[in-house]
Structure 1
């Protein structure tokens, strides 16, 4: 039996006969991560640094330490490589945890997965990757989970809207790509999206296209209703929209020679009915909405192994953050969804502990602030009292 210790003190055990394989695992358990992960030195970017930390609130500081972005308004580019593997005939599971304890306003929280062409020292925004996955937040309008897949050296965004978590606590993000060309996205070990790769990404040309030879017949009538030919406009319909105010009278001091000919002001005509239109009736010639016929797309060809990644051997953080403070941890790449699921067995306890710790910390800080304000008021009162009790010295002026 093989056991893995994941997410702090929580262990995952599986019998070797049925066990999947863990290709990469990083829990940032000590400072050795700095030897295994490499910062980019790509020119022209001001990169920020990660620090090992559990943040401001936690239940077990040492066990909950990950790597935290530490500088505001910085690009971050940090990656590592491992033994290459292919996903042919098996699941690919990418999983990690994110804690935006800084109440992030704009910044990425995703990972990128690479093939062996990755040069960690030159990692930057244009570096080719095999997939990108994780949360991205920027203002109230962008709070989503990215799932971007690379096929034939072109990146393809998922066409589904997946909302990410935007609170201050630890959350786990899991992407599973199956060898039957289907996928799942899980947040905190609960499925939030699933489907098939061909339908939910515009990776391949569509199977069907509109027949370029087909055209709507000229006599096709797609009007559901038509004006009633027997409906006639009433003879008294036409009335002006505005009329002179009958209650107005020329002022007594009006001088026609000086002021010109007096005209009463105009008011809305209560009898005005607007533009007349005949009533609508059902169109007896209506044939319905014309549907453009489709044909098989000659440019489409199925890809049975659309899921397959020939080579994976790197993972990294390549992102921008306005306000730093995000903690990444518990990075896992495996071919067994069960291993990933069991690795999160203690997640809810961690989240509940964080909430309790944050509430206690917020309460403590509020009490300290209240005490400081109270002490400040007392100091001011003492200063005022001292001024009131100072001896009054009368000024003396020597007469010359």
Structure 2
């Protein structure tokens, strides 16, 4: 009995240790005092300013407060530091929320994860980073989720097209990088893309290359079909495409001396058969499409640590926006996928429906106000027109009275 109790106790202790071993490296929900934890870059003298706001509509006035871009056509450069760590051998989760309540036309909504060596006051667009992740929108053609990894000094763009959300509501973006060199991108806690790092980014040279020594043989015939050598063009094939209209008659009033020699108009020839081409037959010499043989690439070097960064210590916003109004919030960097999902449910999912409800209410109020304003203007225009019509009628009446008086005076003069 004692042994069973000890085993259960050990199991509880080990389970508790497994839960406790999950690490949150950075977490920011932008409560009061957030400015003390973030550093504004002074690399540019006219960087845009972030303000603390939940925006015009929200699900929870306090929980939904984040930092909002406040100036149009500006660069933004802000960063927060945390204790340096490496994700070697562990999952890496980068998560945050974005709300483009201004219905953004062109601008970034992503974050950059930097090494701890970043000089925050000097951060700018060329500052080396480890990972760039998040939505980017510019016009109808660019509505993507960026996932960019820095590998040996090169910024590598994902080769897949991952579409971002382009509405005005808050959305949760999550990047998971795993120690088996795979990844997953989630939006609103739902997977939208996943795969192998080696497949979806150009981290490494290709495993196979075309054999530089191989060449297609000169007699290799890739034509699947050929002209039938026994097919001959019929003798009566050639017919003109257009002929004079046989039903056309010279007009009776046509004068050859004045109008020139009359010619009937041309019409499509019903017997015209077009360009003759011989029938196609299977090519008896066809060998199929020639495939260039491949060999192992001598420059390919496997790397089982594509996912790994030895120094992660800063997260920042380094972006440009034409029209400001984006709100960033709920930033999380952890090694626990389940914890990140739970945080997303608590901070995003709990308020998203209320946010939409408030937005719908605002839209309805704006619609009613717009209709009332339009009705008011219409009434004013009608009243004005009615008043002008009355003035015109009165003016016409006065004019008529004057004419009647004039006619009366004229009649009196005739009688005299």
The CA deviation at 1:328 is 0.3
Aligned pair count? 377
- Report the equivalent of 1:37: 38
- Report the equivalent of 2:97: 97
- Report the equivalent of 1:7: none
CA 1:217 to 1:126, structure 2 compared with 1: closer, same or farther past 3 Å? same
Q: Contact 2:59 / 2:352 at 8 angstroms: preserved in 1?
A: no
- Report the equivalent of 2:364: 363
- Report the equivalent of 2:238: 238
Measured on the aligned residues, the alpha-carbon RMSD in Å equals 2.5
- Report the equivalent of 2:123: 123
- Report the equivalent of 1:223: 223
The CA deviation at 1:248 is 3.7
CA 1:256 to 1:154, structure 2 compared with 1: closer, same or farther past 3 Å? same
- Report the equivalent of 1:317: 317
CA 1:89 to 1:381, structure 2 compared with 1: closer, same or farther past 3 Å? same
- Report the equivalent of 1:3: none
- Bigger CA drift: 282-291 or 326-335? 282-291
Q: What are structure 1's unaligned runs of at least 5 residues?
A: 1-13, 395-400
- Report the equivalent of 2:330: 330
1:170-198 per-residue CA deviation (whole Å, 9 max, x = no partner) reads 11111111111111111111111111111
The CA deviation at 1:352 is 0.6
The CA deviation at 1:69 is 0.8
- Bigger CA drift: 68-77 or 114-123? 114-123
SS in structure 2 at match of 1:28:
coil
Cα distance in 1 between the residues matched to 2:364 and 2:380: 24
Cα distance in 2 between the residues matched to 1:154 and 1:317: 20
- Report the equivalent of 2:182: 182
- Bigger CA drift: 216-225 or 105-114? 216-225
Q: Contact 2:203 / 2:306 at 8 angstroms: preserved in 1?
A: no
1:139-196 per-residue CA deviation (whole Å, 9 max, x = no partner) reads 2221110000100111000001111111111111111111111111111111111111
Q: Contact 2:104 / 2:323 at 8 angstroms: preserved in 1?
A: yes
Match of 1:21 among 16, 20, 23: 23
CA 1:282 to 1:385, structure 2 compared with 1: closer, same or farther past 3 Å? closer
What are the residue-to-residue correspondences of 1:155-234 with 2, within 5 Å? 155-234=155-234
- Report the equivalent of 1:112: 112
Cα distance in 2 between the residues matched to 1:130 and 1:20: 22
CA 1:260 to 1:117, structure 2 compared with 1: closer, same or farther past 3 Å? farther
1:228-250 per-residue CA deviation (whole Å, 9 max, x = no partner) reads 11111111001112223333445
The CA deviation at 1:262 is 4.5
1:365-394 per-residue CA deviation (whole Å, 9 max, x = no partner) reads 2233344455556667888899979xx9x9
More helix by share: 2
- Report the equivalent of 2:414: none
Instruction: Confirm whether residue 273 of structure 1 aligns to residue 273 of structure 2.
Output: yes
SS in structure 2 at match of 1:344:
helix
The CA deviation at 1:26 is 0.7
Cα distance in 1 between the residues matched to 2:314 and 2:168: 28
The CA deviation at 1:105 is 1.5
- Report the equivalent of 2:308: 308
Please identify the structure whose Cα radius of gyration is greater.
Answer: 2
SS in structure 2 at match of 1:94:
strand
The CA deviation at 1:95 is 0.4
Instruction: Confirm whether residue 353 of structure 1 aligns to residue 354 of structure 2.
Output: yes
The CA deviation at 1:138 is 1.3
TM-score, length-scaled by structure 2:
0.84
SS in structure 2 at match of 1:345:
helix
CA 1:359 to 1:230, structure 2 compared with 1: closer, same or farther past 3 Å? same
Cα distance in 2 between the residues matched to 1:41 and 1:74: 14
The CA deviation at 1:327 is 0.6
SS in structure 2 at match of 1:226:
strand
Cα distance in 2 between the residues matched to 1:134 and 1:59: 22
- Report the equivalent of 2:283: 283
